[in-house]
Amino acid sequence: MATQIDKEACREAYNQVRDDNTDINWAVFKYEGSMIVPAGQGTDYEDFKKMCTDDARLFGFLRITTGDAMSKRAKFTLITWIGESISGLQRAKISTDKTLVKEIVQNFAKEFMISDPRELDEDYIRTELKKAGGANYDAQAE
């Protein structure tokens, strides 16, 4: 059966992460059978990481504040998580299903495909987003 997405519910979760007037800085979209639906959102990055288990395949949309002494800005990222115990067929399917998610999640600075929990380190994600962010006025040498 072809995968479908609950567009309205996913769009609402996506918009809450993008909204500067909310504290919500992540939303997760998971499979319920052959339907992709919102599966949670929150303010703590650690809560997002806890959803990335060995038996999960999900899409995470996150807002991370980056910048330097001169300018702070929100950057957005799309993380595709594929747990270690996901079958080969499900791994292959997630790549094509991502196009459904990208119909909703359209604005992000960087995209990640992750299956190793160590790559979910918030500092790593923040550093990669900072690199994609353009001008850097920090007085440090990079």
Domains and CATH numbers, the chain: 4-131 (3.40.20.10)
Residue among 65, 37, 59, 41 nearest 113 (CA): 59
pLDDT surpasses 90 at 119: yes
Confidence of residue 141 (pLDDT cuts 50, 70, 90): very low
pTM to 2 decimal places: 0.89
% of the chain exceeding 70 in pLDDT: 91
Average pLDDT over residues 70-84: 90
